Structure 1
Amino acid sequence: MKTIIKSFVGAVVGTILVLLIAFFVIKQHKPEQTAPIVKNQIQKIPEVKTSYLLPQNTDFTVAAAKSVNAVVHIKTIIGIKPQNYDNFFGSLRDYLYGQPQQALIAFGSGVVISPNGYIVTNNHVVDGADKIIVTFNNKREMGANIIGTSPSTDLALIKVDAKDLPYLTYGNSDNLKVGQWVLAVGNPFNLTSTVTAGIISAKARDIHILGGKTAIESYIQTDAAVNPGNSGGALVNTAGQLIGINAAIASQTGAYEGYSFAIPVNLVRKVVNDLMNYGQIQRAYLGVQIRDIDADFAKKMHLHDLNGVYVAMVVEGSGADKAGIKKGDIITAIDNHPAKDLSELLGIIGQYSPGNVVRVSLLRD
């Protein structure tokens, strides 16, 4: 391996091919100047009229029509419940199926992503399954096999032996905006697919449900109603494109209480491609130990901005090390995608494969 260093005005760029090739731009980290205080200026607060009516050009029917036939019901039969089995949406098996003494019956939803039978769902929906039965929106049932799973992202890829199936195409979760309308589509009751609408409430949410040092939690938060059995279902935009896989709800009762969380589709696409091509996840790493910046840490380290991710250590010999990233640097963006906190940074890096080239923007005193 060799290192290439090029000089630019006010910046240093280093490159090295070790897992990820790390580029970085160094900016002077200076406190922002404060605007002068102007006294005795009183402005009248403008009146703002609010409306809870949908914009007249908002139409969910096209997206719903595209989605309902591509979302399936998944029933799993598990002989012995594994210790790590935790269906975040709970189970309605007692309500719908009853439960034999010798087996656990659980279920969720899934999304058809190809005409030849590939279906993506949550790992916790099929974890430990001895048998998987998929029911389509037209009541057709088929057995499915697990192609691969990713516990660190709570995703799984299964397949049925079929062709010419309705399926959803990928959107781009990086382009999503808070306040954007979305639909949550699932098949929780093994009847037909259900559709609810809401808006994106937040992005890059880390809700600490997966555990483990390698877990990637960078969820899309929405207020679309999602209930038990919708786990693994689709989050789609108004064009009917898949933008996320529903994974969890924030609830004290197990039922919907206002917020749900979906795995961004750009991460889903990366995981699915890895499982199809390799049978396992190909994870990329910058080669740094990092942490969030909160108010206390910023005060302790004399930092002037809470945005970004603090580099606590650089792994010797890693791509980050050979590119020149140092302890104390603050990573602010990856390939011009802002990384305001740890969850956002991990979500971005999770979309890359070993050997990919990335440009890391950072601040350094």
Structure 2
Amino acid sequence: MKQDRRCWPGVVTLAALAVAFAAGRLSVPNGGSATLAGPGTEQDRVIAAARAVYPTVVGITTDGPRGGQGSGVIVQADGLILTNNHVVAEARSLRVALADGRSLPGTVLARDPETELALVRVNAANLPVATLGDSDRLQVAQTAIAIGNPLGFERTVTVGVVSAIHRRLSGERMETELDNLIQTDAAINPGNSGGPLVDLNGKVIGINTLVVRGPVGSGGLGFAIPINLARYYIEDIQRHGRSIQPWLGIVPVDIDRETAQRFNLPTPQGIRVELISPDSPAARAGLRAHDIVVAAAGSPIRDTGDLRQAIRRRRPGDILKLTVIRAGQRLEVSVRLAERPAED
């Protein structure tokens, strides 16, 4: 039996705080964002944060080869909803359940397997909108609140902490590699996918995406896509009609200790440039085949995943400074990233 098991929470924890909604009042102006009350105990802040976001969380039910249930969060008052790609992938039709009780047909506006994000549109106006936070300012151990529709239980709230940041998942756990993920111990289950991960200020810091489970009887590790990446995705779709991905233009090969010894390489970690695409940012910057990249923007590059993460944190047009070993000499190469071509 496999010890690790990937589980998309996008197709449906029992609520630790759901009763709190019945106990309190919430006022959200149509088309507006909720504001929180003043500071109190941490429990008071958790309850206030959950109440603020609760009206913006939707349930998504799809019909198709991968039909099932997931979650989403309203990001614009005119019916724009952010969710996960796998929630709506291959959907022939879908319905969106709003917090006010309405069930509306939805349309997939865009989806991107590379970022695991998607946008859904419903024909509605003056909807409550979630406030987006800043995932670049997250601190390990800060409180994290997950809201979604696990196992069909609508708008369930669970509470934990940000367990780690900059996590990367690939291989048998994933259909596509994801990096820079937020890890949380707030319980995430099937149906949470696409729902918000929220901080104590009621701001969305991530989009709950998957859970990795260990042996039977052990808990799972939840992972969320940082909201700053989602913000870029929304802007790209609205401005360009597609997701804009930064591009370096090389074929990298990981270097490990065995490879370094076999080929007498000067470092036991990093990536070796195998090929360079013609007229790519790498080619224009003067990178060469067999260069060894050991750092990007001052951070060590141990493998291809580190380099990919450094690139994904930037936008086309940004300068990425690479530290390269060439013929035994250490060089600094500045590369201006470009938009990834469709065929690359």
TM-score with structure 1 setting the length: 0.68
CA distance in 2, matches of 1:120, 1:256: 31
Match of 2:323 in 1: 362
CA distance in 1, matches of 2:61, 2:178: 26
CA distance in 2, matches of 1:147, 1:255: 39
Match of 2:73 in 1: 111
Q: 2:159 aligns with which of 170, 185, 197?
A: 197
SS at match of 1:247: strand
Equivalent positions of 1:248-327 (< 5 A) are 248-251=210-213, 257-300=219-262, 302-304=265-267, 306=269, 309-326=271-288, 327=290
1:331–1:138 Cα change, 3 Å: farther
CA distance in 2, matches of 1:246, 1:167: 18
1:127–1:175 Cα change, 3 Å: same
Equivalent positions of 1:237-256 (< 5 A) are 237-251=199-213
Match of 1:71 in 2: 57
Residues 216 and 343, structure 1, Cα contact 8 Å, conserved in 2: no
User: What is the letter of the counterpart of residue 163 of structure 1?
Assistant: A
Q: Which has the higher contact order (CA 8 A, sep 6+)?
A: 1
SS at match of 2:208: strand
User: What is the letter of the counterpart of residue 359 of structure 1?
Assistant: L
**Count of residue correspondences:** 282
1:348–1:273 Cα change, 3 Å: farther
CA distance in 1, matches of 2:246, 2:275: 17
Residues 153 and 217, structure 1, Cα contact 8 Å, conserved in 2: no
Which structure's residues are more often helix, by fraction?
A: 2
Q: 1:157 aligns with which of 104, 111, 119?
A: 119
TM-score with structure 2 setting the length: 0.71
Residues 296 and 310, structure 2, Cα contact 8 Å, conserved in 1: no
1:125 paired with 2:125, answer: no
Match of 2:14 in 1: none
CA distance in 2, matches of 1:140, 1:189: 20
User: What is the letter of the counterpart of residue 194 of structure 2?
Assistant: G
1:178 paired with 2:137, answer: no
Residues 167 and 180, structure 2, Cα contact 8 Å, conserved in 1: yes
Highest CA radius of gyration, 1 or 2?
Answer: 1
Match of 1:233 in 2: 195
CA distance in 2, matches of 1:135, 1:305: 53
Residues 293 and 301, structure 2, Cα contact 8 Å, conserved in 1: no
1:133–1:285 Cα change, 3 Å: same
Equivalent positions of 1:338-353 (< 5 A) are 341-353=303-315
- Offset, 1:352: 4.2
- Offset, 1:246: 1.2
SS at match of 1:250: strand
Which structure's residues are more often strand, by fraction?
A: 2
CA distance in 1, matches of 2:167, 2:184: 12
CA RMSD of aligned residues (A): 3.0
- Offset, 1:140: 1.9
CA distance in 2, matches of 1:303, 1:62: 55
Q: Percent identity?
A: 34
CA distance in 1, matches of 2:216, 2:130: 28
Deviation track 1:117-166 (CA, whole Å, cap 9, x = no partner) reads 11111111111112211112232211111101112222111011222222
Match of 1:329 in 2: 292
1:189–1:250 Cα change, 3 Å: closer
Residues 170 and 178, structure 2, Cα contact 8 Å, conserved in 1: no
1:131–1:63 Cα change, 3 Å: same
Deviation track 1:202-238 (CA, whole Å, cap 9, x = no partner) reads 32322334446xx544422221110111111111222
Structure 1, unmatched stretches of 5+, are 1-55, 86-104
User: What is the letter of the counterpart of residue 264 of structure 1?
Assistant: P
User: What is the letter of the counterpart of residue 61 of structure 2?
Assistant: K
CA distance in 2, matches of 1:74, 1:169: 20
User: What is the letter of the counterpart of residue 271 of structure 1?
Assistant: Y
User: What is the letter of the counterpart of residue 207 of structure 1?
Assistant: S
Deviation track 1:163-212 (CA, whole Å, cap 9, x = no partner) reads 22222232222332333321111123555411212222332322334446
User: What is the letter of the counterpart of residue 362 of structure 1?
Assistant: T
SS at match of 2:229: helix
User: What is the letter of the counterpart of residue 222 of structure 2?
Assistant: S
1:178–1:296 Cα change, 3 Å: farther
CA distance in 1, matches of 2:237, 2:103: 24
